[in-house]
Structure 1
């Protein structure tokens, strides 16, 4: 029996009954619904599936992090962590209960947003592939789980709320979500001494690997794989534009840079899914190690 399940249910109810998660779910629909000629031309009715990917850009990560970063440090600050520590649970149970519960509490309302997008897409474009749509929804759920895990892990390690805020919103959101491509290109230049012209990038496995190491980058690689639009950590529409004949943009796309037989194994799209899963396993392992030995009283 999973001892952490009562705590997970409590966390789920707490999040699912909050205004924040429903505001997020409401905003995701107009945020994600972005008809595009290039998307319709390549995907047809399955452009509805691509809207799920768009929903996961910027707004969803911000909402997930906002709803998760105080999960433990907030209770430590208020003193209510003493009640949780008094339950017959290990520190690992507490971490798992917090992560699973918050993920479920966020993912449920978000899935209703996806359902609304499905209805809009069905009425606008016709019948799309339901299995493909389900796959995108599940993959986005993995992204939500990864972001909740990262934020909760930071919350478990931080001794003050301000520290958790700085790490989550500067480190995770600003650097790893908004600015990661630029940072990855700068890191590549610092390591190799080779400047990066994104309009004509070098065919370097290291460069393309660095770009997809962030949670959102890895998610986009796997999402684009499902959509069949190209091997890239960028938005599907930008990838399609990059791959159009006589078109050049500053988007890094493996298919536009490497000959098919010279693509390194670690740039295969399935590896993107592995990287996304690593954002669940590694932060949880680090947090479990430190949280189990820390003094929360």
Structure 2
């Protein structure tokens, strides 16, 4: 069977990323970032606290690393003029986008996979045998999250015409607002829509609030991985979710189970639908950028 036309582009991108020192520096940083057992997490999860380490490794630092490794994927080719050379080959602009996303995703997944193995070994030795199914499940969802991040970064790189613009869009907008600050932004958006202020320690049982909070790809990712971990329905980091439900501890995380205690939960807040949010972020921005990229000037 013949390889797809975009395969050489993907291979080139993956090899280039894997030859970069920054790619492999990310792996030990993720291990240090991810490893953080607490008494409460051990008490609730037992050996599966190791699975939680993978979720933490996939939150905040991983998105930043992936964006840094991929945000110039198209803009660099455009400014150097090599994009015109690529299009001189039997490749469409869609082929280039697909190849970039696939290749850079492979290049970004491998250091994360290494970090996951190290966290698994450390956690297994220190805390005992964890559930391999939960571990693999969280790993696979994180791989999907990486592909989504690469797709968003490639979309921004394809839709803009300068490094300054793509940097502003990805790091000033996507990372700061949607990844780091969405809990604050989402609550303020809810206030603007409904006029109702939110006490973060006692959030209202309002499906709209939790739906808004779940629009962030990062919080959608943690919602799915918390579900796999067997924790409460929330887009917060697993340690914060445990703290909300742990006796004698209060924290300002938004947990559906705590807010809707004893009340019916809207079906659209089911954890599985957070996968739809992730897929949306992986497909729609790239499709829109692809439309612009196919019709735009290469200059």
* TM tier, smaller: over 0.9
User: 1:139 matched to which residue of 2?
Assistant: 141
Alignment partner of 1:292: what SS? helix
For residues 65 and 59 of structure 2, the distance between their equivalents in structure 1, rounded to whole angstroms, comes to: 11
Q: Does 1:154 align with 2:179?
A: no
Q: Which moved more, 1:239-248 or 1:59-68?
A: 239-248
User: 1:18 matched to which residue of 2?
Assistant: 20
User: 2:275 matched to which residue of 1?
Assistant: 273
For residues 143 and 298 of structure 2, the distance between their equivalents in structure 1, rounded to whole angstroms, comes to: 30
The answer to whether the 8 A contact 2:70-2:154 is kept is yes
User: 2:36 matched to which residue of 1?
Assistant: 34
Report the Cα offset of residue 56 of structure 1. Answer: 1.1
Report the Cα offset of residue 183 of structure 1. Answer: 0.4
Report the Cα offset of residue 258 of structure 1. Answer: 0.8
Report the Cα offset of residue 248 of structure 1. Answer: 2.7
For residues 134 and 202 of structure 2, the distance between their equivalents in structure 1, rounded to whole angstroms, comes to: 32
Report the Cα offset of residue 277 of structure 1. Answer: 1.2
User: 2:119 matched to which residue of 1?
Assistant: 117
Aligned residue among 80, 91, 105 for 1:103: 105
The answer to whether the 8 A contact 2:201-2:252 is kept is yes
Deviation sequence 1:10-61 (CA, Å, 0-9, x none): 1000001101110111211111110111111111111111100000121101
Report the Cα offset of residue 289 of structure 1. Answer: 1.1
Aligned residue among 37, 57, 60 for 1:58: 60
Moved over 4 A (4+): none
TM-score relative to the length of structure 2:
0.97
Report the Cα offset of residue 126 of structure 1. Answer: 1.2
For residues 89 and 44 of structure 2, the distance between their equivalents in structure 1, rounded to whole angstroms, comes to: 54
Q: How does 1:212-251 map to 2 (within 5 A)?
A: 212-251=214-253
For residues 108 and 264 of structure 1, the distance between their equivalents in structure 2, rounded to whole angstroms, comes to: 38
Report the Cα offset of residue 261 of structure 1. Answer: 5.1
User: 1:186 matched to which residue of 2?
Assistant: 188
TM-score relative to the length of structure 1:
0.98
The answer to whether the 8 A contact 2:40-2:246 is kept is no
User: 2:89 matched to which residue of 1?
Assistant: 87
Aligned residue pairs total: 297
User: 1:127 matched to which residue of 2?
Assistant: 129
Q: Which moved more, 1:143-152 or 1:254-263?
A: 254-263
Report the Cα offset of residue 263 of structure 1. Answer: 0.6
Report the Cα offset of residue 260 of structure 1. Answer: 5.3
For residues 90 and 235 of structure 1, the distance between their equivalents in structure 2, rounded to whole angstroms, comes to: 41
